[in-house]
């Protein structure tokens, strides 16, 4: 039985209900020891069930083997786990990097996509619930997507703190981590292109806001972004009021110059808030920006919708980013401080 599965959660709820019923029926007839045992069982049951639901929301652990993290290999690309220590942000977190088919034996430098999860959530949501590696292998094998390095990254060091990929006043400096430390680490450790034309963003739910917001805030770093069921506003307090101005996508599109960048907005027609925000962003993102929209008829705000959106969104990103380019060991990323153009991830 999977740790993040619905059957285990329902079992926990049933046990909590049973403990509550036992307290109601036996309390007057029970002695002090049995009463204490019933209370302890009820409290532990509630805590365990709450932990199971939190785990389902954050995709922290999927099954017993998932408790041991290992490098994963698929029939196409390869997934490697790295730790990104961020000197600029002061944040150190793990990340999972997809290396496309041919990476280990080739000499090309690849485009890069940073992938953002929702909140609550983690990069493992992409890898487990959304089957991102399977879709990437599928789209690359079919020729609909160019071989691309994809970095699945954390947006917060605390699963209960929603950063919305911003620099929180007195809190995690997520924006700096994602736009400075992550690119520097990827360029140092992997054979990738360093030019803006080869870097893109993708995210779902809160991660969709991240993708759109960071594209506008760092148009010198990224050429394109895909927002899947994303929002136009942060939905949190950053601490400096920027959630109403410079960290509000709609505000930026209304009041600041628009970059020459590409934005994909996907949403479900029956998902009210993301639908309204996506239509607003599409209306405001006029030239020199280019906007593409993709609509799923039904499904609301769900993993099923994002799985449907994934292939076309990755294909669209690939069509907007620079292609893999030949390289030599002397042709190194501009910000790389490590060995010249490393051939494999470490």
Asked which of 99-103, 133-137, 332-336 is least confident by mean pLDDT, the reply is 332-336
Counted residue by residue, the chain has a size of: 346
The helix (run of H) or strand (run of E) holding residue 167 is none
Please name which of 10, 34, 9 lies closest in space to residue 22, comparing C-alpha atoms: 34
Rounded Cα gap, residues 137 and 134, in angstroms: 5
How far is residue 338's CA from residue 42's CA, in Å, rounded to a whole number? 54
DSSP for residue 125 = I
Dihedral angle over CA of 65, 67, 69, 74, nearest 10: 30
Strand blocks (E) in the chain: 72-73, 78-85, 92-99, 108-109, 112-116, 149-153, 199-204, 224-228, 262-268, 290-296, 325-326
Residues 125, 133 contacting (CB under 8 angstroms): no
pLDDT band for position 206 (cuts 50, 70, 90): very high
- CB within 8 A of 99, min separation 6: which ones? 77, 78, 79, 80, 149, 190, 344, 345
pLDDT at residue 184, rounded to an integer:
98
Domain residue spans of the chain: 6-66, 69-326
Tokens standing for residue 91: 């944040």
- 262 secondary structure, DSSP code: E
* CATH for the 69-326 domain, from 3.40.640.10, 3.30.830.10, 1.10.8.60, 3.40.50.1820: 3.40.50.1820
What's 173's DSSP letter? Answer: B
pLDDT for the residue 272: 96
Q: What is the CA radius of gyration of the chain?
A: 22
Whether residue 117 is predicted with pLDDT greater than 90 in this model: the reply is yes
pLDDT, tens only, 9-53: 456 556 555 655 656 655 566 566 565 655 555 656 554 444 444
Which two tokens mark 64? Answer: 């017993």
CB 141 within 8 A of CB 222: no
**Residue that wins the pLDDT comparison between 106 and 128:** 128
Percent above pLDDT 90 for the chain:
72
Q: Is the dihedral of CA 154, 160, 161, 165 positive or negative?
A: positive
Instruction: Point out which residues pair with 97 in neighbouring strands.
Output: 80, 151
pLDDT digits (tens, 9 = 90+) for 51-68: 444 444 444 444 434 433
User: What is the full DSSP assignment across 77-124?
Assistant: SEEEEEEEE-TTT--EEEEEEEE-TTTTT--EEB-EEEEE--SS--TH
Q: What rounded mean pLDDT belongs to the chain?
A: 84
Q: Give the Cα separation of 188 and 190 in Å (integer).
A: 6
CA distance 243 to 273: 17
pLDDT at 2: 41
pLDDT tops 70 at residue 166: yes
Nearest by Cα to 209 from 173, 257, 155, 149: 155
How many Å apart are CA 152 and CA 160, to the nearest integer? 19
pTM confidence score:
0.79
Q: Tell the burial category of 303 from Cβ atoms under 10 Å away from its Cβ (0-12, 13-18, 19+).
A: middle
């Amino acid at each position: 039985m999977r740790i993040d599965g619905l059957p285990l959660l329902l079992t926990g709820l049933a046990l909590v209900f049973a403990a509550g019923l036992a307290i109601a029926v036996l309390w007057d007839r029970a002695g002090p020891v049995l009463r204490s045992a019933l209370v302890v069982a009820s409290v532990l049951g509630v805590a365990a069930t709450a932990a199971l639901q939190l785990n389902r929301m954050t995709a922290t652990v999927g099954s017993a083997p998932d408790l041991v993290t290992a490098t994963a290999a698929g029939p196409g690309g390869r997934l490697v786990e790295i730790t990104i220590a961020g000197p600029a942000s002061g944040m150190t977190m793990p990340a999972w990097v997809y290396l496309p088919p041919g990476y280990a034996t080739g000499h090309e430098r690849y485009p890069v996509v940073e992938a953002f999860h929702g909140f609550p959530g983690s990069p493992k949501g992409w890898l487990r619930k959304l089957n991102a590696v399977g879709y990437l292998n599928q789209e690359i094998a079919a020729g609909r997507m160019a071989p691309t390095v994809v970095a699945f990254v954390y947006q917060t060091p605390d699963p209960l703190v929603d950063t919305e990929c911003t620099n929180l006043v007195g809190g995690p400096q997520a924006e700096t981590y994602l736009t400075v430390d992550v690119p520097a680490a990827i360029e140092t450790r992997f054979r990738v292109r360093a030019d803006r034309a080869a870097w893109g963003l993708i995210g779902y739910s809160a991660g969709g806001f991240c993708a759109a917001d960071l594209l506008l805030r760092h148009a010198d770093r990224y050429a394109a972004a895909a927002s899947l069921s994303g929002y136009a506003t942060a939905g949190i307090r950053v601490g400096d009021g920027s959630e109403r101005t410079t960290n509000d996508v709609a505000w930026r599109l209304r009041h600041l110059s628009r970059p020459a960048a590409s934005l994909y907005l996907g949403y479900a027609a029956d998902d009210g808030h993301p639908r309204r925000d996506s239509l607003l962003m599409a209306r405001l993102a006029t030239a020199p920006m280019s906007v593409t929209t993709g609509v799923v008829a039904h499904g609301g705000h769900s993993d099923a919708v994002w799985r449907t959106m994934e292939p076309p969104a990755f294909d669209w990103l690939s069509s907007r980013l620079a292609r893999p380019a030949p390289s030599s060991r002397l042709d190194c990323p501009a910000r790389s401080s490590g060995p010249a153009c490393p051939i494999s991830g470490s």
